[in-house]
Each structure stands twice: as structure tokens, then as C-alpha cells.
Amino acid sequence: MAKNDNAVLLPGTGAVLVGEVGTALKPTYAALALFQSAGTLPSGFTDLGHTSNDDLPQFGQDGGDSTTKATWQTKSFREIITAAAVDYVTAQPLQLDNTVLNLYYGGGSSSAAYSYDLPDVAATINKSLCLCFFDGVSVWGFYAYKTSVRRDDAIAMASDDFTKLPLRFTILQAAGQKRASWIGYGLGIGS
């Protein structure tokens, strides 16, 4: 593989976007470039606003466990996957607003001005996800058609830092859809 300077990402700035499953479809490279240059959100998405500069989005997985099977002749003949891998993304929103609180608590409502009421029982919230990474003039995106959103950890507060509401976006399969895609210059057919 040859060196490709355009395929090296330094995520200087970016955004975490969410949308309704089935409405917020995979944005094109051009739509992400327009968002970077003019602030025009890709169709169907809402910006979660300020997110942590110290704790950028992270990709992870649960599962993916395997075991090795042997034959009489070969002690490590075949690897068998015993638990499917489930991918997820974590993000650290900083805004205490209705949208972030709704995702963090699995619901809730505003019954009065300047108030947000927590739900009695948390609901499963499904959203489409688009992470945008801006590296100077380069634009990259990561899109998941359907995720299950929940809190990832306790709300973090410190007197010398912003309050963080950690969210986990578990990437789910939806019939007839690709689970997730990377979007960037030089990716795909003919690159």
C-alpha cells in the first residue's frame, strides 16, 4: 500500500449529529463539506452542540469472543466466533439542554419553563448518528443508520472543567440498510 497523505486524519474540529432513523440518511461527501464551510446541516440531522475537546468520540466493541478448535492432527485448526461483535461510539456532550438530557436519561419532558423532568422509566431511544471530523480542508464522516442511545457513565463534574454527559451509541442492524459507513475523500469505488 502506498503512502496517502489525504488518508491521515487529524480531527481538529468536528460535530456529533443525530437524526431520526429512516429520515436522517447517509450524507454525501459534498453535504459534509457544505456543513464544514457554511454550517448547513446534512438533511435530517440535529447538532448535539458543544462536545468535549479532551474526550473526542471513541469507537469500541463488545463481544467478538472466539475459541480455537483442534483436530487430532492440528492443535489450533480453526478459530470459531462464539459471540458476535457489537460496535459502539461514545461521545461527551457538554450542553445541559433538552436534547442531550433526553438522550442521557432515555426520555423526559419539559413541563414548565426552565425545567426538565426526568422519566420515571428510561426508554430505548434509537437515532441515526453522523460524526463529522474536520482536518483543515479535509472532511471525514462516520454514519450509522440506526443506533441505540443511552448514558455511558455518570455525569462528570469538576470545578475546573465543563460538565460532561457521556453517551453511548450502539450500532444496530436495520433490514435493508448498511449498519455504518465511513465517508471521506478517496474512499470507495474508483479511489
pLDDT in tens, the chain (191 residues): 688 777 888 888 999 999 999 999 999 999 999 999 999 999 999 999 999 999 999 999 999 899 999 999 999 999 998 888 999 999 999 999 999 999 999 999 988 999 999 999 999 999 999 999 998 878 999 999 999 999 999 999 999 999 999 999 999 999 999 999 999 987 876 55
Q: Are the C-beta atoms of residues 156 and 146 closer than 8 Å to each other?
A: no
How big is the chain, counted in residues?
A: 191
Candidates 13, 42, 39, 2; CA nearest to 143 is 42
Pairing state between β 180-184 and 138-151: antiparallel
Apex CA 178: angle with CA 143 and CA 16, to 5°?
10
Q: How far is the C-alpha of 124 from the C-alpha of 147, rounded, in Å?
A: 10
